[in-house]
Amino acid sequence: MMKACLFDLDGVLVDTAIYHFRAWGELAQKYNFEFTEEHNEKLKGVSRMDSLEILMKLGSFGLNHEQKLKEASWKNEIYCSYIETLTPNDILPGVKEFLDALKVSGIGIALGSASKNAPSILERLEITSYFDAIIDGNQVSNAKPDPEVFLKGAEQLGVAPSDCIVFEDAEAGVEAAIRGGMKCVGVGSPEVLARADMVISNFNELSLDILITKMDREVA
């Protein structure tokens, strides 16, 4: 039985992935290597510090702990300068209508994101009030595919993981949902999100009735 929906942020509710890509790209330039879109796929759903570790391997450079903190902070400042331009018009298609339907139906809504900037992004999009729980990168110690962020969301909602559906655009996020014992809707490419229980291109393709029917079939 579906009692709660847990949403990733970047690529699901709003497309801020391009801002992460640009910010990490500027860091890559400092260390004289090209950061590609293919590289960026490896960072989806991954925490800032773990993303930096991936970049260090890609660029074959090393940093001590203090330098890592400094560079991660520098990258975040660049990213924040981009997200300051966000408005409610940047919410992805169909998202607000789907959140409205969940609210009317009394289904719990939580955010489960690795982003430490999640609260400020929700405020800029003017959708904070939809969420009964917000779990972000400031509250978890383990990055996806570890299910910690989603399990904490379910706990705060007072709902069993088996009664939750996760919405994710990243392979690591889908894996986190599976490890947490939750159903998952992938938002994006069926090839990348093949392990999700269903995949949509965007929320214009999904209604609450369609979701419930699909998940009932999965359970059956």
**Looking at 8, 136, 169, 197, which residue is catalytic?**
8
Tell me which of 10, 132, 169, 197 is the catalytic residue: 10
Query: How far apart are alpha carbons 215 and 208 in whole angstroms?
Result: 11
Q: Are 164 and 3 in contact (CB under 8 A)?
A: yes
Question: What is the rounded CA–CA span in Å between residue 137 and residue 24?
Answer: 18
Q: Assess whether 209 carries a catalytic annotation.
A: no
Is there a catalytic annotation at residue 216? no
DSSP-H helix ranges across the chain: 17-30, 37-41, 48-59, 65-83, 95-105, 118-125, 148-157, 171-179, 208-219
Instruction: Note whether 71 and 160 are within 8 A (CB).
Output: no
| Catalytically annotated residues | 8, 10
